[in-house]
A = this chain, B = another copy of it.
Amino acid sequence: MGVVTVNKRSQSTEEYLEAIFKLERTPAGATVGRLAGELGVAPPSVSEMVARMGGDGLLARGAAGEVVLTAEGAVEAARLVRRHRLSERFLVDYLEMPWDEVHDEACKFEHVLSVEVEARLAEQLGNPRTCPHGQAIPDEDGTFEEEPAIPLADLKPGERSTITRISDERPDLLHYLGTLGLLPETSIAVEGVAPFGGPLLVRVAGAQYALGREVAGKIFVRG
């Protein structure tokens, strides 16, 4: 038998899960401080919440104090990411919203999609593999396979590749990239790299642009 765990998480819990999932796959990892920054709350709030979620079996603390998701937590987080990215696809493909506005909307949608709605939405959208920004959409069972890619900034002058994803959701940045046509599946060539952290000169669809290093670090291309 066992205890019936209905396991409907609170909205806050779901937001923590997602933030940890995201920070876990950065070189820096997920710490209390970084989570506080990511979620826009004070560090003690994170301490407290992390303790609660640890008790619920969603996460554990690593040797150095980092926050790591348990298998259960990781699956739930991946499903949330799936719902988030499916929502983004829906907002862009069906409602025809601009790609730079959909992240914030999807943040709300992801918490209200039932299993059935999620499944029907995926089917109706043609089971998309990525969100409009090129990020991979996890499977229904929570498996998550990101296409290997390197930052545009790592390309050498003269090299050419194809954009796979933009790993930043800030509307202003996305809007800017959109006006330049720097979308996933776009072919891009690096024509020059200015020294001392200067901009990259890139060519896209015949036009040349100068991109700052920070921006170029957010654009990922096939490696």
Interface of A toward B, CB cutoff 8 Å: 91, 94-97, 101, 105, 108-109, 111-112, 114, 116-117, 120-121, 124
Residues in B whose Cβ lies below 8 Å from that of A116: 97, 101
* Max count, chain B CB within 10 A of own CB: residue among A96, A101, A117, A120: A117
The 3 closest A-B pairs by CB, nearest first: A108-B112, A95-B120, A112-B112
Contact between A117 and B95 (Cβ–Cβ < 8 Å)? yes
Contact between B114 and A112 (Cβ–Cβ < 8 Å)? no
Residues in B whose Cβ lies below 8 Å from that of A111: 112
Contact between B108 and A120 (Cβ–Cβ < 8 Å)? no
Contact between A97 and B120 (Cβ–Cβ < 8 Å)? yes
Query: How many Å from the CB of A118 to the closest CB on chain B?
Result: 10
Residues in B whose Cβ lies below 8 Å from that of A96: 120, 124
Select one of B101, B109, B121, B124 contacting A112, CB under 8 A: B109
Q: Roughly how many angstroms separate A96 CA and B120 CA in the complex, as a whole number?
A: 8
Whether A117 contacts B94 in the complex (CB less than 8 A), given A109-B112, A111-B112, A112-B109, comes out as no
**What is the chain B residue whose CB lies nearest that of A90?**
B94
Show 15 residue pairs from A and B whose CB-CB distance is below 8 angstroms, ordered by the A residue.
A91-B117, A94-B94, A94-B124, A95-B120, A95-B124, A96-B120, A97-B117, A101-B116, A105-B112, A105-B114, A105-B117, A108-B112, A108-B114, A111-B112, A112-B112
**What is the chain B residue whose CB lies nearest that of A120?**
B95
Q: Roughly how many angstroms separate A109 CA and B109 CA in the complex, as a whole number?
A: 8
Query: How many Å from the CB of A98 to the closest CB on chain B?
Result: 10
